[in-house]
Each structure stands twice: as C-alpha cells, then as structure tokens.
Amino acid sequence: MPGELDLAFVLRLVPYRDADLVVTLLTQHHGLISLMARGARKSQKRFSGALDYLTLIRATFKKPRSGMGTLTAAESARSYEKIRGDLACYHLAMHFFEVTRLATREGDDANEPFLLLGHLLTLLERGGDRTTALRIFHLKTIAHLGYAPSELACASCGVGLQESGAHLHEGGLLCPPCGAGNGVPLSKSAVNAIVKTASLTYEEFRSFKISPAEEREIGPVVEAALVRALGAEPRSLEQLHEMLGT
C-alpha cells in the first residue's frame, strides 16, 4: 500500500522515545493529522531534512482506521528562508502555526486555513507588513470559526452600520443599541477596518495595510475576540507582542 500523498505545513514536532517524532501536519486535502515519523530524529534519509516549521512539504503517509498514522516520507516543496532569517517574522509564523492548530480539529475541512497560511507566509517572505499580516490572520481565523463580521450590518437585528460605530462581540458586530453592555465599542473607522480586513481576497493581501491609528483601536479588540473564539489564549501571543512592539 503506497499511502496518501499531500502538500502540508508542519504545525508541531514532538520528540517521542529516542528516535521518533510525532508530527502534526495541516494538509491541503486531508485536513489536520498527527503522524508518527519513525527514526526521524536519527536519520534524515526518508525525510530529506524537510521536517521543519517553515517548509511546505510533500508528505507521504498511511492512515489506519483507528489510531495514529505513519509518515513514511517527506520532501521539501518550498522553503521560506527569508522568514527564517527575520526573528520577528519567525515568531509571527510560529504564532500562525499554533493558532491554526488550536482552531482546527482532525476531520475538519482545512483547505481554507491551508491556503491562508500559504498566502500569509508568502506575504511575509516578500517583505509585507507584519502587523497587517497578523490582523488578516486573526480575522480570517475568527471568520473560519464562525464569529467574524463579514458585512456592515448588526449581527443581532440586521440594521446597517454605515452611519454609526459598533460593538465587537463574539457573535459579530452589533449596533450600539444591541451592543449596549456587550462587547467592546468601536469607532466607525475601526468597524470599516475590521470588515475590510475580514473580507480581503488573497490577491488583495499584498496591497492592503492597516494604519497605526486603526491598529491601536482594533488590535486589542480583535485579539480578545480571537481568544473567545478559540476558548484559550495562544501561548505565543505575549512573546509576539514583545517581538513586534505592539
């Protein structure tokens, strides 16, 4: 049995016994999977040195009906060398991987998170704005979890928000009457920034940038919404603030 073949990002590597690794992959077509890479810590022959966090790999694996599958081979499809050489970008990418792992369950359709990771890593590799990449990632992840605003309308009563500010709540954007006592109040410009960022296409990532004024208002609010959506605060978030100076 030759096994399955798929493109994948490595989200986590955990040493097991003397020579093995438990590898958590986000694959394009098989979703999130955890696999045993036998002998990976002592021999690089089968894995060609590809088991790294900043490498898109072609993974060959076997998935049994129950229990953990086995990673039988891996080779590099693309390496993000410029991110490796930039400490802040490296920590940002590691934050992406941690949050993606927390937001995805085995068996989920993960094609959208897979594509999001690929486009944002490419953006960072090409020198894109780090803070903008971070907020795109947060809002797209919240959207994937079913909580982010996608249009300028109250998530409770449906009234348009074009003429007023709003409150960001775990259920989306709320108009001032519906949001009174719930969520965090936002200015109209902040509402527009959140909705625009959440609705960006992949092709628009490169040309889009969040202003410092918008970031000061929406940054803490978006992170609070992310933590609520995940049900836990990512461990990488505090260190990421130190690296980015946010």
Closest CA relative to residue 220, chosen from 205, 207, 237: 237
In whole angstroms, give the CA distance from residue 166 to residue 179.
7
Q: Which pLDDT does position 34 carry in this prediction?
A: 94
Q: How would residue 113 be classed by pLDDT, with cut points 50, 70 and 90?
A: very high
Q: What is the pLDDT of residues 69-89, one digit of tens each?
A: 999 999 999 999 999 999 999
- pLDDT in the model for residue 164: 59
Q: Is 142 helix (H, G, I), strand (E, B) or coil?
A: helix
Domains and CATH numbers, the chain: 4-79 (2.40.50.140), 84-244 (1.20.1440.120)
Asked if 116 and 137 count as a contact pair (C-beta separation under 8 A), the reply is yes
Residue 9 is inside which H or E element, if any?
Answer: strand 4-16
Average pLDDT rounded to a whole number, residues 62-73: 86
Q: What is the pLDDT of residue 154?
A: 76
User: pLDDT averaged over the chain?
Assistant: 87
